[in-house]
Structure 1
Amino acid sequence: MAFDLVDTLKNLFSNDFTRNAATQLGESEGNVQKALGGIIPAVLTGLLNKAGSSPDAGGLIGLVKEAASSFSGIGNLAAGLPSGLLARGGDILRSLFGNKSADISQAIASYSGIKQQSAESLLQTAAPASLAVVGQHASNPQDLLSLLNSQKDRILAAVPSGLGLASLLGVGNLSDIGNKLSGLVSGIGSSVKNTANSVGHEVRQASGNRWLWTLIAVIAIILLLWWMLRGCGARETTTVVETDSIAMNEDSAVTAVMPPPAAPRESIKVTLPDGTVLDAYKGGIEDKLVAFLSDPNSQGGKDVWFDFDNLNFKTGSAQLTDESMVQVRNIKAILNAFPKTKVKVGGYTDAVGDPKANMKLSQDRANAVLVALQAENVKPVQLLGAEGYGAQFAKAPADAPDEERRADRRISLGVREK
């Protein structure tokens, strides 16, 4: 029986997964099953679209291998939503759909009758799982393109008509995605064939072993240069991030959103109404946030923000460091102790760098913190989303000393209701 990628993934998300995920999300099993019926082909269609729109299949195989690495060790999905996949799943969705990720989750929610946040959690689980299965059948760029080309008709046919995916991806018809991929694969095949014929002709025309080896050496150099140039192209998006205003130190393995002050900070204990005791810093977000929430006269609102003070990302990325999870879990404990509180995550940069790159990175980092809170099982009703503001609210000019611009580079928690 021929391999069917869509059916393989549907079998991966078993009835046990559906039942447990529905319980965790507070949704009906039927609606979760319906959502998965749209999510699986939608994620695969995003991969088809990415493959057909970019000549960098090497970059895609890297994404697939990273997904496989994230998925390894999970075992099976019978227990429901594995928190370890959620953050990585968000990164994969942004790689596949760019700034359309939120629109995709909204479309899934509308189609299946579940909450958007539930749709996001299911998408963030399905994305690495789907790419991991793809990775089991494709170990190099050529295999990946061949596999996707062979599965494209089945994938596109499985997309529910009511999802509106073509419009979200900016194409007239989903078949356009399949045609583009087929054209790319055919073009690569023709190019390889023509190159082989050309090489064969040149070899036949060459006289003696000296010409043969010279020709082989020239071909090897051309191929090497092609791979090197393609690698540079794959790094261009990283370069945009590395030169943005948050990632200032390229020699550091970690970029602090709020660099710690030079003076030693005073450690304190913050006691919550439910008796939980947190390790924190005097004047830090836990200290200020708990004092605010405990004050009966204080009120939430759009202008009420508290800056994270112990939150770090890996250089030029939206990936939180392991150490940052201490403060994320502290915020979770605070929200559990104040169940009426509703918050929003905001990301900010200083005025240095490309505004579009700053805006994107601030959004990605705000999303990463939101996903981390979701993975810690903060009640969905308490999380009102994430938004990146770039340098819109930067106070220091771009030519100001770095110490003046530090306060503009931050991740904040906005208290909308308490």
Structure 2
Amino acid sequence: MHNHLLKALSNYITPDLVARAADTLDESETSVFKAMSAAIPTLLIGLLNKTNDIPVIEKIVNLANNEALNTDNILSDLPSLLTDKGDPVTLKNGTSVLQLLFEDKQPKLFETLEKTVSIKKSSIFRLILMSAPMVLAHIKDTNLNTEQLIKSLTSEKDEILKAAPLGLQALLDQQPVIQPEVKTRIKKVKPKHTERVKHRWIIPLLIFVAAILMLVIMS
């Protein structure tokens, strides 16, 4: 039977969870619901973008199958992960998931989500950090291996992209920015080329002047 990731993970967003998360983060329930509804497809699109990077998907599956990861405890007390009092192993695994999927794009990711759902950036971070172990718990509970996870993700590609927050895919598709020192080297090289172009007219002028002098002398 097909394991529908997006639907299954979205089912974890219960009214009770939203209410407790809103109280913990001091946010409105409407904002928290929107943020959590954005967090799930955000994580899935992060996974989807790594389906061609098998080692990353394998690391995610290995994190899910960590013996120290107790899925019953995670799913029964998700709001505890919204504070530093949450289970250290679970929080560490959640942080590892975010690093594997988004690397140095995390700050921009949180900014994008902050604009999309109108909620504090710190709350976005906490909700994403809470949602990452949810994904791991689901992978473990459904016994998904690397191949099966990739198959599920690719089969749901259109749905995941449709559910993803506006601007997210564009952010993840961005190419690395040229480092400042590289830009400096480029700027240093350009004037030399410009200088050579600027003085190319001198040689033809000298030839022209020499020809005029020869005509004067011969006449």
What is the TM-score with the length of structure 2 in the denominator? 0.67
What code does the residue aligned with 1:103 have?
K
Partner of 1:93: 98
Partner of 1:146: helix, strand, or coil? Answer: helix
1:14-413 matched pairs, under 5 angstroms: 14-52=14-52, 54-56=53-55, 57-66=57-66, 69=69, 71-77=71-77, 80-82=79-81, 83-84=86-87, 85-160=90-165, 162=166, 164-170=167-173
CA apart distance, 1:139: 3.6
- Which one-letter code corresponds to 2:41 in the other structure? P
The 1:67/1:13 distance shift into structure 2, 3 A limit, reads farther
User: Helix, strand or coil for the counterpart of 1:119?
Assistant: helix
Q: Which residue in 2 is equivalent to 1:11?
A: 11
Give the distance between the partners of 1:7 and 1:170, measured in 2 at CA.
25
RMSD between superposed Cα atoms in Å: 2.5
Aligned residues: 168
Structure 2, unmatched stretches of 5+, are 176-219
Which residues of structure 1 form unaligned runs of 5+?
173-418
Larger Rg: 2
Give the C-alpha shift of residue 102 in structure 1.
2.0
In the TM superposition, what is the alpha-carbon distance from 1:80 to its structure 2 partner?
Answer: 2.3
Distance change >3 Å, CA 38–CA 146, structure 1 → 2: same
Q: Assess if the C-alpha contact under 8 Å between 1:138 and 1:144 holds in 2.
A: no
Higher relative contact order (CA 8 A, sep 6+): 2
Give the deviation of 1:5 after TM superposition: 1.5
Change in 2 beyond 3 A, CA 1:147/1:135: farther
C-alpha distance in 1 between matches for 2:174 and 2:24? 35
Q: Cα deviations across residues 349-406 of structure 1 (Å, max 9, x unaligned)?
A: xxxxxxxxxxxxxxxxxxxxxxxxxxxxxxxxxxxxxxxxxxxxxxxxxxxxxxxxxx
Indicate the structure with greater helix content. Answer: 2
CA positional deviation for 1:59: 3.1
Larger strand percent = 1
Q: CA deviation at 1:2?
A: 5.7
State the 1:48 CA deviation: 1.1
Which whole-Å deviations, capped at 9, do the CAs of 1:60-112 have from their partners, x for residues lacking one? Answer: 421332499254423424x6243224343222101111011222122212211
Number of the residue aligned with 1:283: none
Partner of 1:50, secondary structure, is coil
* Structure 1 position 171, deviation (Å): 5.4
Counterpart-to-counterpart distance in 1, 2:121 and 2:59: 30
Amino acid across the alignment from 2:139: V
Distance change >3 Å, CA 2–CA 88, structure 1 → 2: closer
Alpha-carbon distance between aligned partners in 2 of 1:18 and 1:35, rounded to the nearest angstrom = 10
1:154 offset after TM fit, Å?
2.0
Q: Shift of residue 14 of structure 1? A: 0.9
Relative distance call for 1:123 and 1:139 in structure 2 (3 A) is same
The percent of aligned pairs where both chains have the same amino acid is 32
1:117 CA displacement: 0.5
C-alpha displacement of 1:148 = 1.9
Deviation at 1:30, TM superposition (A): 0.2
Amino acid at match of 1:40: I
